[in-house]
Amino acid sequence: MNTLQNRAPLVPETFPGIFWCPDLISTRDLGPQGVEAVLHLAELMKSRPSVFQRALAGKQMVMFFEKPSLRTRLTFEAGITGLGGTAMFVDQSKSPLDARESLSDIAHNLERWIDVIVLRTFAHATIEEMARHASIPVINALSDLEHPCQALADYFTLKERFGDLRKICLAYVGDGNNMAHSLLLTAACLGSSIRVATPKGYEPNAQIVADAKKIAKQTGAHIELLNDPHAAVAGVDAVYTDAWASMGEENEAESRAKIFPPYQVNRELMAQAAPQAAFMHCLPAHRGQEVTDEVMDSDNSVVFEQAENRLHVQKAILYLLLGGAVRLPVRSAHA
């Protein structure tokens, strides 16, 4: 049994020179090369799924979810099944993951039975602690701080629509929450441009912003933090929003409903973006609050493309973390 200290980063032979992380807790674990690797592999998996049908044969995944889920649970289950592996689900919505026994004890049990742990939790520290103790990969499927798998799927969707991500700008308007954090970090890794507009007092986490700006210095990404949603949206290629009150913040829903209406994505706000700007949302959407039906159901809405791409991105993440058995063609330098 490998100990935590003996764990070596996985270097996929199909992506020579790319440093791969043992866990996906934060987009920061991937870095620019890791993010590019996930998007490239997701593209291959989406276009040629039959090639990968047995890539993770015999691998087993367990999911512990403290929060309800539609897209996250089903795309992870369908993803590993489509790669030949199996999934198990443990509903933790009635109690925290560590209510019955310590995370350390849970981790040391799981590492002897299965191959990868997927966690959807309230506290980000829960995922970090599980990763510290488990000698198998741990994946953040959502925490109060980050939602890395969703943001990767979002930028994969933008790549499909626009091509070169360095030439586009995404505006996020609303709460500076876990979704905003992961979008900032992913944009930074890809050398893309992002504007985040929030009400005063609801800005993104300062450490996340500092880390994103540090990565941006290496990649050439452009990051702007604003309070004016109209200035954020002006001329952008995509407009993104999320719930005004995230899961666990229901007690703030009433007070936030009085603060956030200027950040609603409606026809008037979308009209200030580029003519063919995409509308994006991680779902579930609260129609009539952060977004209107008119925008949500418009031809420019890509919300269901985002949801579909969760499947392909998460398959790529599982493959890379678990060392899939299929050897892929290396992308040409001229591609």
Residues forming the active site: 120, 147, 150, 242, 282, 310
What is the rounded CA–CA span in Å between residue 138 and residue 25? Answer: 7
What is the rounded CA–CA span in Å between residue 320 and residue 327? Answer: 12
Does the CA dihedral 278-284-290-293 come out positive or negative? positive
CA 187 to chain centre: 12
Closest C-alpha among 320, 327, 326, 328 to residue 116: 320
What is the rounded CA–CA span in Å between residue 199 and residue 311? Answer: 33
Opening angle at CA 307, ends 306 and 308, nearest 5: 90
The per-residue DSSP string of 42-95 comes to: HHHHHH-GGGGTTTTTT-EEEEEESS--SHHHHHHHHHHHHTT-EEEEEE-TTS
Beta bridge partners of 138: 117
With H, G, I as helix, E, B as strand and everything else as coil, classify residue 125.
helix
